Structure 1
Amino acid sequence: MPAKSRSQQKAAGAALSAKRGETKKSDLKGASRQMLDSMSEEQLEEMASTSRKGKPDHVSKSKS
């Protein structure tokens, strides 16, 4: 699943770094902490490697 925004891509990169032991899990906040617990390393790698070109900074939540 590719990232839908730049912030989502960056959060996935932070979570991936913590999952690999490169950064402390306690340094994570918000979305990156949730991603760490709910996604596999492969899923995080796919989302973090998404190109940022043409992506919005944030994706607004839609009310359905």
Structure 2
Amino acid sequence: MPAQSKAQQKAAGAALAAKRGEIDRDELVGASREMYDSMSKAELKELAETKREGLPPKKDG
């Protein structure tokens, strides 16, 4: 499932970095913290790898 917005892709990247131990979990806030808690590394990687070109800044709705 590819990211649907640049914000979602960025949050997934932050959550993935925390899962990998590259940043501290306590640095995460908002959507990235929720993604960290509820998604696997594989799911986060898929979202984070989405190309940003053509994505809207934020998801509508």
Kindly indicate whether residue 16 of structure 2 is the aligned counterpart of residue 16 of structure 1: yes
Answer with 1 or 2: which has the greater Rg. Answer: 1
Cα drift, residue 60 of structure 1 = 1.8
TM-score (norm 1): 0.93
Give the letter for the 1:60 counterpart: D
Corresponding residue SS for 1:56: coil
CA distance in 1, matches of 2:8, 2:51: 11
TM-score (norm 2): 0.98
4+ residue runs over 2 A deviation: none
Q: Residues 1-64 of structure 1 correspond to what in structure 2 (within 5 A)?
A: 1-61=1-61
Count of residues in correspondence between the two structures: 61
Residue segments in structure 2 that go unaligned for 5+ positions in a row: none
Residue segments in structure 1 that go unaligned for 5+ positions in a row: none
